[in-house]
Structure 1
């Protein structure tokens, strides 16, 4: 019976692959239209499945780590409040940032972002999930990691264009804020929701 299930699964995967191929766009050329600190805008020249030739623009950025940091007591988390110019308000959420070229693993990047944005260090860090949050308009890849045993260890070390205040909150209050829509930050909402599913 297991062989039949495996064979059916393989067939379904093959059918899905064939269907995906029918949907695929062919890319003929690609170039950066605009570059600034933090991201670029890329233009691809493509042919659609129906033969239409057109161009497609999307945001290109480095991979990002998002950290859900629990204090040593396990009941509280470290959060940040950060000014977000794009929406014109202070955003409450989790520490996050781009993976640096020299960082050879996500744990290292997560520990660095946590320390820079909050001044906290973690005893352990483990991967929770990887997502593509806005793959219709950007090639962003977000890696969410859970840090445990966090303790204050240093001053913040912020980038020149970061306005961030670190704070702690009860984890259950954070979950309630996500559930009630008080937290609007997508990375935080996803991290907490995914953590609650485990």
Structure 2
């Protein structure tokens, strides 16, 4: 028996695309656009463009009292403030993802965690992007650190009951996808 995923037509290998060549079509701060020439399983050749982004950590942080630490951040692409969990890109020198989660939590919120534990990893939009989110639960968070916001971050910090975040997700009011997923996943499996 194979551990490979299968579908009605056989093993997943029969679905694989062959990358013939690739190039960076566009570079900007934060992400790149990659263009690849691919051969599909039926032999057809085609171009495929996708957003290339560094891996990220998303932190689901809780104070010692059990409240969630959240940020309100301006999101220019959607022209509004979104409530969310702190998150940030994995940088070149980041070998330890838990340490990256601790760093991002402190930089964005000023909170420092007693414990940080991996929750899950997901690919949020793998049809159009190579982004990977590593979720971490941070507990015992206290506002004893130093915030160091990036030049393009407009963020305020507060605490809220996790149940309020869950209710907002259920009502469709928690619009930040990373956060909505984190809230629901933590509620189901955390």
- Please give the TM-score of this superposition, normalised by the length of structure 2: 0.94
**Which residue of the partner structure matches residue 163 of structure 1?**
154
Shift of 1:177: 0.9
1:148 equivalent to 2:148? Answer no
Question: Larger helix proportion, structure 1 or 2?
Answer: 1
Shift of 1:155: 3.8
Shift of 1:21: 1.5
- Poorly superposed stretches of 4+, deviation over 3 Å: none
1:34 equivalent to 2:30? Answer no
Structure 2 distance, partners of 1:138, 1:164, is 25
1:177 equivalent to 2:173? Answer no
**Which residue of the partner structure matches residue 139 of structure 1?**
130
**Which residue of the partner structure matches residue 119 of structure 2?**
128
Judge conservation of contact 2:112–2:141 (CA < 8 Å) in 1.
yes
Say how many residue pairs are matched: 187
**Which residue of the partner structure matches residue 49 of structure 2?**
57
Structure 2 distance, partners of 1:180, 1:137, is 27
Using the TM superposition, name which of 99-108 and 132-141 deviates more: 99-108
1:197 equivalent to 2:188? Answer yes
**Which residue of the partner structure matches residue 79 of structure 2?**
88
Structure 2: gaps of 5 or more residues? none
Per-residue CA deviations over 1:65-96 (Å, capped at 9, x if unaligned) read: 0000000112x111001111111111111000
Structure 1: gaps of 5 or more residues? 1-9
Superposition CA RMSD, Å: 1.4
Structure 1 distance, partners of 2:159, 2:5, is 49
- Please give the TM-score of this superposition, normalised by the length of structure 1: 0.90
